[in-house]
Each structure stands twice: as structure tokens, then as C-alpha cells.
Amino acid sequence: MSKTIGFIGLGIMGKPMAKNLLKAGYSLNVCDLVQAAVDEVVACGAKAYPNAKEVAQNSEIIITMLPNSPHVKTVILGENGVLEGMKPGTIVVDMSSIDPTVSIEIEKEVAKKGGFMLDAPVSGGEPKAIDGTLSIMVGGDEEKFNEVKDMLLKMGDSAVLVGKIGSGNTCKLANQIIVAMNIAGMCEAMVLATKCGVDPERVFQAIKGGLAGSTVLNAKMPMVLERNFNPGFRIELHIKDLNNAMAAAKAVGMEIPLTGEILEMMKALDGKGEGKNDHCGLIHYYEDKEGVEVKRLS
């Protein structure tokens, strides 16, 4: 019989991921601060508990999918948190994107209680969370990774053990730098084309099969053309990731100037109240300066 899973954090990503586990036949115990999200997953067969402690008391594997390091600390180490209810032998799989040093810190506390922890952030965004085709990057013990790999592959189509605890999140920082640069490149290029009087949709059609083509371009350019900035992945979450990347670079004495530049652009938009837009909303940074709009002309 498959193990009972506790799933904490049913937001844009967590909700479809939890639903895919239910569809695959797992028993799921859930909690979230948002009652509507809990109700939706309960309607698909999950059991709700009022807090992380009670979820942990009734589960053998715990998945967390929360916004950032402080939320993960609260849910795992805090009052009525996972550690208070967790049985020895429990595997905690934190799938949030957080500071790798915090993953290392939390793992030590989980180990003191006889549990195991993996950091397993994901890439692919909401569409791939819904399809169950996320890319999952994992840090931690190989034996524990092998124990949960089949379960991870119900939410993703790849799960790669990158290294020891914290490595999953270091890998995710690399991922987020590359995504940010793809988006910024797309925005800069498409605003330039528009300002030069060329139809941005035709530019997209012309280049998407060439070397400039990318998953980012295919996912985000249609959103820009439709002027749809609903997240997806919020600018404020990307700011969090790039801040974590800057801290990781500082810790090893490296400069990451391109990341710093895009971080400042995103912060400027956040300061104007646009932090809850999808990260393709970075286009506004250029559009506002240049007085053009990248949109479908026909």
C-alpha cells in the first residue's frame, strides 16, 4: 500500500500538484491558510486538518509548497508545525523555492527528531503543475530520494538528484537566473521591434523555431500579445528568487551583474504595485519608458 502523504501549501502550484497525487491514488492529508483551496482539494478526495502538526501526525511523507524561507520555517519548525507532530522515519520533501542555506538549517532540525528531509523545488509553472510534467530538482540523501522518486514522478516528468541537501534549491536559483534573463531578453527585443514599427507577433512567429526560440518565449510571448498578466509566476516571487541568488553569489564571492540588473527592474515594477503580475509583466518596464505597447496588431 502506498504511503499517506501530508501536503501543506495549496496555492497556484500546490493545488494542482496535490490533485495529481490524488489522481494517482495516494491518500492525502492537507492544510492551507486559504479555506477555498482546502475545500477544492477535499472535494477531490483529500482529508483536511487545521494545522501542519496534525497533518504530520497522520502522514508518513510530508510535502510543503510554500512561498519562501520564512513560511517553510514557520510550517516545519514553528508552533503547531510539522516537527511537533512528525513520527520518526518521516520524509519531509520541501518543494518550495527557498534559500538553500535555510534548507540545510531545517534538515538539521528534522534529523534531530529522527526524520529525513529533501529539498525538491520545481520548474515549469502552473501549466506543467496541472499536467504533472514539472521538472523537479532534488537535494538530499540518495536512498530517501529513491524512496520518494515514484511519487515525485506523479507531479513531474523528471526528478533529478542534484546533490546533498540544499543542492535542489541552488539548482533552482540557476534555473531562475536563466528564466529571468530569457524574459528580460524577450521584453527588450520585442519593445525594440515594436518601436521600430515591426509587428511583434510576426517577429515571434519568425524567430520561435530558431536559436532564439525557447520554452520561455513560447509560454510568455502569447501572454504579452494578449495583454494577459495574470500569474502564473508572480514578479514578487521572482524578486525573492533573485534576492536568494544574489545572497548565494555573495556567499561564494562572485558577482552576478546581469541578475542584479533584472532584479532592479523587477523591484521598480513591484514599487509601482505590479508585483502580483506574472513575470512576463516585465515588459511594462520597457513599455513605460518607450511609450509603446507590445500587442497583437491584427
Active site residues per annotation: 172
> Which CB sits closer to ligand NAD, 154 or 195?
154
Closest C-alpha to 6, from 107, 105, 98, 91: 91
Among 18, 37, 193, 245, binds ligand NAD (CB under 6 A): 37
Q: Compose the 221-260 pattern: x for residues touching ligand NAD by CB under 6 A, - for all others.
A: -----------xx---x-----------------------
Q: Which parts of 59-212 fold into alpha helices (H)?
A: 69-77, 82-85, 100-112, 125-131, 142-152, 167-195, 200-207
Record the cell numbers describing residue 39, joined without a space.
475545500
Record the cell numbers describing residue 173, joined without a space.
536559483
User: Least distance (Å) from ligand NAD to the CB of residue 209?
Assistant: 25
Considering only residues 69 to 88 of the shown chain, the ones binding ligand NAD according to CB under 6 A are: 71, 74-75
User: Least distance (Å) from ligand NAD to the CB of residue 262?
Assistant: 16
Distance CA 114, CA 89 (A): 6
> Which CB sits closer to ligand NAD, 5 or 13?
13
Binding status of residue 91 toward ligand NAD by CB under 6 A? no
3-state helix, strand, coil in the chain (%, to 5): 55, 15, 35
> What is the length of the chain?
298
Choices 122-130, 149-157, 199-207, 269-277 (CB under 6 A): range interacting with ligand NAD: 122-130
Among 11, 16, 115, 139, binds ligand NAD (CB under 6 A): 11
Binding status of residue 163 toward ligand NAD by CB under 6 A? no
Count the helices and strands in the chain (H runs, E runs): 14, 9
Which residue bears the cell 513605460? Answer: 288
Site residues, ligand NAD (CB under 6 A): 8-14, 31-34, 37, 65-67, 71, 74-75, 96-97, 122-123, 125-126, 232-233, 237
